[in-house]
Structure 1
Amino acid sequence: MKRIAAVFLAFAATACASQEAQERYRASQERNPAPCPNVVVLQDAGRFIEFAGEPALETIAWSGEVKDVTTACRYFADEPIEAALDVELSIGRGPMADGDVRDVTYFVAVTRTNRDLIAKQEFTVPVKFRRGQDVVTITESINDILIPRANETISGINFEIIVGLAVTRDQVIFNRSGESLKFPGLDG
C-alpha cells in the first residue's frame, strides 16, 4: 500500500509539473500584455571621433557610431521581461589609425523610465580591418537581458534599454557641440 501511495505521489507531482509546463508554454505563446521597453541610443554616446592632434579630417584616427538597435522581448504573468538586442556598430579607420584592429567598447543599461538605473554592462569587441578597408560594420547580439517586474501589472513601457559607446569626456564635449567635419564633395 505504501508503494502504491509513493507511486501515486510521484505521478501526481509529475502531472503537476507537466501541467505547470503546459501553462507556461501556453502563456509564452500569448501576446505580451503591453509593449517592450523603449530602446534609446544615448545622444552623447552615439558616436565618437578619435583624433591624433587637432580636430581635422587629416587627423582622424578612429571613428564609431551606433547605427541601429533592434529589440525583441517576451513576458507573461509576473515573470521578468526577457529581452534581446542586436546592436549595429560602424567603425571607421582614418588616416592616422595605428593598426588594423580597434577594440570598441559599448554599453547596455536598463533603467526605470526616466528614473533609476537597474543595471549596466559594458561589452568590448575587437574590430578587424582588412587591407584597404576604411569602415567595418558589425552586429552584436545580446540575448540574455532580464528585467525584473514587481507584478504582472508592470509592463515594458515602464523601462528603457539605453545603448551607447564608451566615450571620453572630450568626445562627449565634441558630440554635444554639434560640430561636424566637412567632407570634400559632400558638403553641398
Structure 2
Amino acid sequence: MRLLVSSTLAGSALLLSACSTLDGLDTRTNQGPCPAAGSVYEAQRVVEFNGEGDQYYDIEYTGEINGVRLFCRYVEDNPIEAQIEIDFAFGRGEAATANQHTFNYFVAVTRTNRAVIEKQVFPVNVEFRNGRQVVTMEETVGRIVIPRADSSISGANFEILVGFELTDEQRTFNETGRRFLLQTQ
C-alpha cells in the first residue's frame, strides 16, 4: 500500500460521489465496497494551551475534524485507488499570539479492525484573517493506492482513518472528555 502524497487545499467541493469514478480511472462498476473511512474518535480534535493552565482563556488554538468522505475505484485484480476529503474547523483562542498556525493530521490505512498498514502525516496551515476566530476548510489527499493480492479481496477488508497528531498531554485531555468549542463571531 502506498499513500501517494498529493494533499491539496480544495477551494470548492469536488464533483464526485461514492458511485462516480476518480479522474482517469476505469469506468466499470466497482466489484465491491470502498474501504470504510472515518476519524479516530480520540484524535478527531486538538486543543493547544499556552502552558499556563487548561482553562478557556489559556487556549491558543483548536482543531476539529467534522467530516470524512472517501471515493474509491477498483476492478478485477487492480489495486484500490482512493481519494479522501476531510472537513476541518480551526479556532484561535484568547491566548493565541499569531494569526496563523500549522496543525498536523494523519491518514492511515489499516486492515479492518487490525493493525496499521501505512500512515502518513500532513501539515495544514491555517490563517485567521480579519480577526476571525474560526476557520473552516477542506483538505484532500488525492491518491491512496492499496494493492490487493487478487480480485477476491474487497475494499471491505480495509479502513482509512484520519486524526490529529497529538502529544501525550493532548491525548490525555481528549480522554477526559473535556471540550472547548470556540464560537464564530
Task: State the Cα distance separating 1:183 from its structure 2 match.
Answer: 8.2
Q: In the superposition, relative to structure 1, how do residues 183 and 152 fare at CA in structure 2: closer, same or farther (>3 Å)?
A: closer
Query: Could you tell me whether the CA contact under 8 Å between 2:93 and 2:182 is conserved in 1?
Result: no
Matched letter for residue 178 of structure 1? G
Query: Matched residue of 1:29: which SS?
Result: coil
Aligned partner (choices 31, 34, 37) of residue 35 of structure 2: 37
Q: Looking at secondary structure, tell me which structure has more strand per residue.
A: 2
Aligned partner of 1:67 in structure 2 is: 66
Residue 180 of structure 1: how far off its partner (Å): 2.9
Q: TM-score, normalised by structure 2?
A: 0.81
In structure 2, what is the Cα distance between the partners aligned to 1:51 and 1:140? 24
Distance 1:182 1:87, change over 3 A: closer
Distance 1:182 1:32 in 2: 40
- Cα separation, 1, equivalents of 2:68 and 2:84: 7
User: Which structure's residues are more often helix, by fraction?
Assistant: 1
Which residue is 1:109 aligned to? 108
Of structures 1 and 2, the larger Rg is shown by: 1
Greater Cα shift, 172-181 or 102-111: 172-181
Unaligned runs of at least 5 residues, structure 1: 1-26
1:149-186 CA distance string (max 9 Å, x none):
110010000000010011111111111111234989xx
Q: How many residue pairs align between the two structures? A: 158
TM-score, reference length from structure 1? 0.80
CA distance, structure 1, for counterparts of residue 29 and residue 172 of structure 2: 43
Report 1 or 2 for greater relative contact order, CA contacts < 8 Å, sequence distance ≥ 6: 2
Give the corresponding residue for 2:49: 51
- 1:121-160 pair list within 5 angstroms: 121-160=120-159
Q: Which residue of 1 aligns with 2:78?
A: 79
Partner SS state of residue 174, structure 2: helix
RMSD: 1.7
Q: Report deviation, 1:29.
A: 2.0
Distance 2:76 2:60 in 1: 50
Q: CA deviation at 1:60?
A: 0.9
Query: 2:146 corresponds to which letter in structure 1?
Result: I
Task: Show the 5 A alignment for 1:2-21.
Answer: none
Amino-acid identity (%): 42
How far apart, CA to CA, are the structure 2 residues paired with 1:170 and 1:59? 15
